[in-house]
């Protein structure tokens, strides 16, 4: 062995496999592998691993790409362990409730926060979408002002989502209140005058914020949580239609809220 | 800002596939990514515009994963990674698919710290420096985890185990 060959280390072989060497170092390893079949076999095995891992990545990416992300959890069954925990905590609450008499007063029910939220959205839908002159307080032509105003009121970065590509134009919005504080209502309208509303508020209380579809008569609602806010969409749509819209809203909540200059400023 | 928005959106599928390969179970993987994005959301003031968004998100994801792993008391990854029912059949040839399912099974038997390095380098094609920064460890540690991970994987995939080799000859 020459001195040059002695300088080839295990790290060099990995760096060779991962393309992390400059051309000179690469040539040196190639020469070394010519005369060292065992190491050449190791390198080939590592290269096959990288190829297989890239193929696995492509296959997984394809698998995740087709499946809705944010809203999948509510539709899916939770792990049995989580369900068991939930059952246990409900049981504990019931015991507490029985002891203190809450149960008799009907305070405790399953997931009160979530059911409260979709009902609030449904009520807001019925109340405001039929209004011709005053469906909103601030119209879409003052969008910046609307977003700022509602964001300050909710004490969270707030972006009125664009749903134009889905066929809905923003009509405007208004500030509402519920038992837990301020709430924002945005009204959207299609070319055929059909409307939907997006109801946004702070967490009404403790809750998982699992995405959930609820039908209230002919009205559909889809409710979920993202970041510090809860969202509920209401409209004459089925679960899939609302989910698709919710997905768009969430994408914009992620990209718009995280990266908007307003949100950066407000965090300081 | 638009560039950053696009970048972030582009990272989501990558984060998801990485999380899926890391923890195996699709539900847990998506929980992890969702937590990661929510954490990112709440810490946006810490993100320096112009720095590497992917590295930042991966760092957050790993911190959350490490916390979760401690909570689960270092339980090994769930067997469902080996269970193909969650992953749609790949449109590749059958031989290829068999290799992938073997690989996924084998990955479940690679220790967590080595699997992270293997996936970030092999699947995500990050540089050693990027991996070191994401995990907050020296490059030497990245290299030794990479080596042990690759040797372990080679053993599991039926290749002859190496490992006799020293740092140099």
Residues A34 and A88 in one domain: no
Chain A touched by B157 (CB under 8 Å):
yes
How confident is the model at residue A249, as a pLDDT?
87
Distances from the Cα of A74 to the Cα of A77, A206, A213, A229, angstroms: 7, 17, 8, 17
Give per-residue pLDDT as tens, A127-160.
888 888 888 999 999 998 999 899 888 888 788 9
Mean pLDDT rounded to a whole number for chain B: 76
Residue B85: predicted pLDDT: 38
Q: Are both A159 and A190 inside the same structural domain?
A: yes
Q: Is the dihedral of CA B22, B28, B29, B31 positive or negative?
A: negative
Which residue of chain B is at minimal alpha-carbon distance from A80? B27
Q: Are residues B66 and B10 in the same domain?
A: yes
Predicted pLDDT of residue A46: 94
pLDDT at res. A260: 45
E strands in chain A: 138-139, 169-178, 181-189, 195-201, 212-216, 219-226, 229-235
Tokens of A8: 């080839």
Range of the domain at A104: 78-110
Q: Token pair of B56, please?
A: 């930042």
Q: Assess if residue B101 is contained within a domain.
A: yes
pLDDT score for A47: 93
Q: pLDDT band at A209, cuts 50/70/90?
A: low
Please state the rounded mean pLDDT for residues A103-116: 42
Whether A239 and A133 map to the same domain: the answer is yes
Mean pLDDT value of segment B60-84? 64
The DSSP result for A105-156, as a single string, is: HT---SSHHHHHHHHHHHHHHHHHTT-SS-S-SEEGGGHHHHHHHHHHHHTS
- Segment A252-260 shows an average pLDDT of 58
Q: How confident is the model at residue A254, as a pLDDT?
A: 67
Whether B30 and B61 map to the same domain: the answer is yes
Confidence of residue B145 (pLDDT cuts 50, 70, 90): very high
Instruction: Kindly state the percentage of chain B with pLDDT values over 70.
Output: 69
Please check whether residues A105 and A119 belong to one and the same domain: no
Average pLDDT, chain A: 76
Same domain, A187 and A212: yes
B window 74-133, beta carbon within 8 A of A: 87-88, 90, 92, 96, 99-100, 103-104, 118-119, 121-125, 127-128
CB A159 within 8 A of CB A252: yes
B70 and B35, same structural domain? yes
> With an 8 Å Cβ cutoff, is B36 touching chain A?
no
Residue A178 pLDDT level (bands cut at 50, 70, 90): confident
Q: Is B158 on the interface with A (CB under 8 A)?
A: no
Contact of B81 with B107, CB cutoff 8 Å: yes
The total number of structural domains in chain B stands at 2
| Shortest Cα distance, chain A CAs vs residue B135, angstroms | 19
Q: Give the integer Cα–Cα distance in Å for A202 and A181.
A: 7
- Report d(CA B21, CA A56) in Å as an integer: 8
pLDDT: which is higher, B2 or A248: A248
pTM for the full model? 0.55
Q: In this structure, are residues A175 and A182 in contact, taking their beta carbons and an 8 Å threshold?
A: yes
- Tell which of B51, B79, B107 closes a domain: B79
Higher pLDDT among residues A21 and B44, named by residue: A21
Q: What is the mean pLDDT of residues B68-93?
A: 47
Contact status, residue A227 vs residue B42, Cβ threshold 8 Å? yes
Residue A82 located in a structural domain:
yes
**Domains contained in chain A, number:** 3
Instruction: Compute chain A's Rg from CA coordinates.
Output: 28
Cα B40 to Cα A33: distance, rounded to the nearest angstrom: 45
Question: Does A138 lie in the same domain as A98?
Answer: no
Do residues B73 and B129 share a domain? no
* A227 in reach of chain B (CB within 8 A): yes
B15 and B36 fall within a common domain: yes
User: End-to-end CA distance of chain A, in Å?
Assistant: 63
Return left, alpha or beta for A152; rule: phi > 0 is left, psi -120 to 50 is alpha, else beta.
Answer: alpha
**Facing A60 at nearest CB: one of B21, B27, B44:** B21
Domain boundary among B79, B110, B144: B79
The whole-number average pLDDT for the span A189-206 is 86
What integer pLDDT is reported at residue A82 of this predicted model?
43
In this structure, are A136 and A252 located in the same domain?
A: yes
Check pLDDT > 70 for residue A214.
yes
């Amino acid at each position: 062995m020459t001195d040059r060959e002695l300088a080839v280390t295990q790290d060099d072989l990995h760096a060779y496999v991962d393309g992390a060497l400059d051309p000179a170092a690469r040539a040196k390893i190639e020469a070394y592998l010519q005369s060292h079949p065992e190491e050449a076999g190791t390198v080939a095995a590592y290269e096959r691993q990288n190829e297989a891992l890239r193929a696995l990545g492509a296959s997984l990416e394809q698998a995740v790409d087709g499946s809705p992300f944010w809203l999948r959890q509510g539709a899916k069954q939770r792990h049995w362990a989580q369900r068991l925990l939930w059952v246990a905590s409900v049981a504990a609450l019931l015991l507490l409730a029985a002891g203190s008499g809450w149960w008799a007063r009907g305070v405790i029910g399953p997931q009160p926060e979530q059911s409260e939220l979709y009902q609030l959205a449904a009520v807001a839908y019925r109340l405001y979408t039929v209004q011709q002159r005053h469906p909103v307080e601030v119209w879409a032509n003052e969008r910046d002002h609307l977003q700022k105003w509602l964001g300050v009121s909710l004490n969270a970065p707030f972006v009125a989502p664009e749903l134009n590509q889905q066929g809905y134009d923003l009509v405007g919005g208004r500030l509402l209140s519920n038992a837990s504080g301020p709430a924002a209502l945005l009204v959207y309208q299609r070319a055929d005058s059909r409307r939907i509303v997006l109801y946004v508020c702070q967490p009404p209380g403790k809750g998982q914020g699992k995405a959930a579809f609820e039908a209230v008569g002919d009205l559909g609602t889809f409710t979920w949580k993202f970041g510090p806010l809860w969202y509920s969409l209401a409209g004459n749509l089925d679960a899939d239609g609302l989910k698709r819209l919710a997905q768009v809203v969430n994408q914009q909540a992620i990209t718009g809220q995280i990266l908007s200059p307003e949100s950066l400023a407000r965090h300081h | 800002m638009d560039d950053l928005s696009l970048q972030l959106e582009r990272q989501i599928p990558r984060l998801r596939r990485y999380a899926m390969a890391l923890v195996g179970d699709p539900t847990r993987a998506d929980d992890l990514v969702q937590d990661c994005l929510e954490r990112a959301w709440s810490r946006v003031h810490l993100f320096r515009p112009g720095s590497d968004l992917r590295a930042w998100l991966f760092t957050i994801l790993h911190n959350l994963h490490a916390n979760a792993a401690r909570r689960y008391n270092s339980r090994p990854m769930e067997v469902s990674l080996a269970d193909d029912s969650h992953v749609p059949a790949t449109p590749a040839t059958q031989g290829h698919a068999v290799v992938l399912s073997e690989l996924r099974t084998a990955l479940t038997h690679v220790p967590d710290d080595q699997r992270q390095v293997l996936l970030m380098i092999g699947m995500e094609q990050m540089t050693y420096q990027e991996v070191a920064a994401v995990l907050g460890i020296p490059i030497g540690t990245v290299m030794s985890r990479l080596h042990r991970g690759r040797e372990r994987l080679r053993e599991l995939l039926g290749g002859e185990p190496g490992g006799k080799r020293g740092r140099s000859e």
